[in-house]
Structures are given as C-alpha cells and as structure tokens.
Amino acid sequence: MFDRIDRLIAWAKGHQGRKLIRFTAVSVVSTVVSVVVIALVYGLKIIKGEVEATLIGNIIGAIPSYTLNRRWTWGKTGRSHVRKELIPFWTMAVLGIAFSMVGASYAKDFVHTHHWSHLFNTGIVDAANLVSFAVFWVLKLLVFNKIFQIKEEEEIEEKLLVEELPPTK
C-alpha cells in the first residue's frame, strides 16, 4: 500500500499530476464562483428564473476559469491566441453552460411542481448546476490539455525541477 502512495505522490509532483491538481483547483474556484453567483442572484430574487440565474452564474464563473487555467495550469502568458485558445475554450464553456441550462430546466420543473421554501429551491438549482458541470469536467480536462499544450514534457519537467530549487543568493 505504501508503494502505491509513494507512486501517487511521485506522480502528483510530476508534470501531469501538477496539471491535474491545478486544473481541479481551478474547477473548484470557478464552480464556487458560479454557485455563489447563482445563490445570490436567484436566492435574493435578483433574477427570478432558474435558467437565467444559472446562465449568469456560469458565464461569470467561466472568466476566472479561463484566466487561471491558461496561466496557472498550462503556464501560458502573453496574448491569448484567438483560434487556438479563445475559440476552443469558449466553445467548451458554452457547451458546459448549455448542458447546465438543461439541468436548470429540470430544476425549474422540479421546484415548480413542489412547494418548498425558496431557500431549498435555491439549493436544488445550485445542485443541478453542480451535477451538470461535473459531467463536463473530464471532457474539459482532455480538450484543454490539447489546447494549451505547447512544450515537450521533458522541458516542462526540467522547468518544474528548477522551480523547486531554493533561490540562490
């Protein structure tokens, strides 16, 4: 068992492991942003429709997702390439948002057929959003990995090793 743990730790310190951990962390951040926005705009009745609140929450959540994934997960800096980065990212984001709209539609039907409190209904709308986006998570990882991959793995491994060295005086 310790051998498996050691291999997992070694993998997590490598390029692919770090990338997956960073992608997951960015997903958590963007999901929290989406859920909070949906809870605020729907829960406070700023936007009364479940689908519309989900749309706004996910659009706002996609902004930190792009920025953090591009810079932190895949290490890209400078101007974004429209054809190679922006269009594929936003295509995937729109597909994810569209899928979440389906989930929001089911949530809308569900909350309108039951007469629960608005607070409970807000939780259902947020839960539908979480489930919808969970379905896209692995797909996005695979696609984004192709979009932002620009260096050979050996070069990246070397860079990561250099980053881990203590600074010289």
The closest of 36, 35, 139, 51 to 103, measured between CA atoms, is 51
Q: Please give the C-alpha separations between residue 146 and each of 95, 103, 141, in angstroms, as whole numbers.
A: 17, 27, 9
The number of beta carbons lying within 10 Å of the beta carbon of residue 109 is 11
Q: Which two tokens stand for residue 78?
A: 């400078």
Rounded distance between C-alpha atoms, residue 90 and residue 127, angstroms = 23
Residue 12 is predicted with a pLDDT of 83
Please state, in angstroms and rounded to a whole number, the distance separating the CA atoms of residues 31 and 96.
12
What is the residue-level pLDDT of the chain in tens, covering all 169 positions? Answer: 788 888 878 888 888 788 888 988 999 999 999 999 999 999 999 999 999 999 999 999 999 999 998 998 888 889 998 988 899 889 988 998 998 999 999 999 999 999 899 999 999 999 999 998 887 777 777 776 776 665 555 565 666 666 655 666 5
